[in-house]
Amino acid sequence: MALILLVLSFLSISSASTTTVTKSSAAVAANFIKAQCGATEYPALCVESLSAYANTIGQSPQELAQAALSVSIGRAKAAKGYVTRSAKLSGLKKREVAAIKDCLEEIGDSVDRLSRSAEEMKKVKGSKGQEEFVWHVSNVETWVSAALTDDNTCMDGFSGKALNGNLKASIRSRIVNVAQVTSNALALVTRFASKP
């Protein structure tokens, strides 16, 4: 009986120390994310969107940038789906359909560029030397910047009276969110690239 109590006590202590380490690691990762997001244009959105990736990110600037790209891709795909469904609404005027289709093309390009960026970012880990590192990161920065331009071009298409108020506001809010997380991703990639 004493042996059973001893084993149970050991297991309890072991479990408690593992929980403490896990909580400590999570807190360190959360603080790292918050500190890094402070360098972005939308820090609160940055922290909110990346906190779910804390275990993967740890304290790695590269994993942080990779996670930020994943968030951008996910939100861009969701926005593309919404814009696609919006294009199929009945009763749209010709200019509304044209604005939506233009936006759909831009957001599609954004998804493609962000996806290429995420794949290119994975190649950074295997870089053989500074020159190769710079090449891969430069590609990522260029494509993420182009994706951000695509998002902004989509929004520009809704200026004026190209769409009715509700649909315009709904599409615009989604594209603005994509542009914001993409801006954050670009800032985090650039910050990662500047580290020796």
Smallest Cα–Cα separation from 185: which of 107, 72, 33? 72
Return the DSSP state at 195: -
Q: What is the pTM of this model?
A: 0.85
The half-sphere exposure of 143 on its side-chain side, counting CA atoms within 13 A, is 22
Is residue 122 helix, strand or coil?
Answer: helix
For residues 16 and 10, what is the distance between their CA atoms, to the nearest angstrom? 10
Where do the domains of the chain lie, and which CATH numbers do they carry?
Answer: 30-193 (1.20.140.40)
Residues 103-112 pLDDT 10s: 999 999 999 9
The percent of residues in the chain predicted with pLDDT above 90, rounded, is 66
Residues 98-152 pLDDT 10s: 889 999 999 999 999 999 999 999 999 888 889 999 999 999 999 999 999 999 9
For residues 5 and 8, what is the distance between their CA atoms, to the nearest angstrom? 5
